[in-house]
Amino acid sequence: MSERNFDLDLTLDPVLYHRIKEQTDLYIQLFQQLAGDFPQQKLSLIHPTSKGTKVTNGYRLDNCPYQVLDIARDFDPATAFNIRILNWWGNGLFVFILYGKDTLIKMEESIRRLLKFYIVSDQKSPWDYKKIINKNPSTKIIQRNTSSDFFQIYRRIDIDPDFDKTYAILKKEITFIFDNHY
């Protein structure tokens, strides 16, 4: 007999998959509603090279499902500015703010204000979320990682089970970031 077995209680449990689908859809709705609050016209006034918003859903970020809301979507190594809200199943909900090398210089004072609440990522890749969130922050110095084209800060967001309260928490956070983006 094989040592590998199918977990039939898990794979044949329709209630479990309906709950997962329901929760995934709820995060997608939340992110779409937030995206609607920040149309391209508004974003281009804040960051002229903005490419708008995008909601993404996936299943294999370090083997866990995830939902993402990107706001501004400028990933150019020089001009980059992006706010990424990541709901990562099994890990939590995070806000990541990505800056390119020119944007970092231009926004240095704004970033200093945000560092009262955000952590500096010292990872080479701004997309290596497991390493980013599992690293103990040691400094709040604004210094670009010379092995990366980007500078990134992040924070975990404690959300509420209530959809409307979580929406308000995230909208306030995004507005706070934009209020400090000058």
Interval 41-91: pLDDT, tens: 999 999 999 999 999 999 999 999 999 999 999 999 999 999 999 999 999
Q: Which two tokens stand for residue 162?
A: 């209530």
| pLDDT at position 114 over 70 | yes
Distance CA 97, CA 89 (A): 20
Distance CA 120, CA 140 (A): 6
Mean pLDDT, rounded, for 20-40: 97
Model confidence band, residue 147 (pLDDT cutoffs 50, 70, 90): low
Model confidence band, residue 141 (pLDDT cutoffs 50, 70, 90): low
- The structural domains of the chain, with segments of one domain joined by +, span 8-179
Model confidence band, residue 7 (pLDDT cutoffs 50, 70, 90): very high
